Amino acid sequence: MGLSMTPSTEAITASLPREQQGVASALNDVAREFGSALGIALPGAVTTAGYGAAIDSRLKGIPADAADTARKGIASALAIAHHNHPYSKALYRSTKESFVYGWQQAMWAGVIVMTIVLVYVLVRGPEHGSSYSSE
């Protein structure tokens, strides 16, 4: 992000006349904040959904009340897995495996989104040699 923020801000503000650069800067800030929010929410939602989809098949042999707690989320499952129950190791392993499954799904979703963005930029992006004013 550190390497891309300054050049992208420069490209956005330089693409407009000097009297409209305040608008360009504000649009840049809104786009950055919106992108950050989506960049956090989308992987988080996909990870949570992936965990939920994977945990059920891994809860065989876990008591029903502990399994219900594990289905609520990763933090709940780990909280009860850290207690010294006969099923703690199995629950901990199941929770980790389900989280990794959800995380992998989130990373693949990110790859898909970034591929779509790359194709869009390559097709619709600025022409090579376009004139950005550096004044």
Cβ atoms 51, 98 nearer than 8 A: yes
Q: How far is CA 26 from CA 9, 29, 69, in A?
A: 10, 5, 45
Residue 135 lies in a domain: no
Residue 99 lies in a domain: yes
Residue 106 lies in a domain: yes
Q: Give SS3 for 15.
A: coil
Task: Report the pLDDT averaged over residues 70-78.
Answer: 92
pLDDT for position 16: 83
Pure H helices in the chain: 2-14, 21-55, 64-72, 74-81, 88-124
Q: What are 9-55's pLDDT values in tens digits? A: 888 888 888 888 888 889 888 988 998 898 899 999 999 999 999 99
**Residues in CB range of 21: below 8 A, 6 or more apart:** 13
Q: Give SS3 for 84.
A: coil
Q: What are 80-135's pLDDT values in tens digits? A: 988 888 999 999 999 999 999 999 999 999 999 999 989 998 998 776 545 544 44
Residue 78 structural domain: 2-12+20-124
Residue 133 lies in a domain: no
Residue 83 lies in a domain: yes
Cβ atoms 94, 55 nearer than 8 A: yes
- The count of structural domains within the chain is 1
DSSP-derived letter for residue 1 is: -
Which residue is it, tokens 């933090």? 75
User: What pTM was estimated for this model as a whole?
Assistant: 0.72
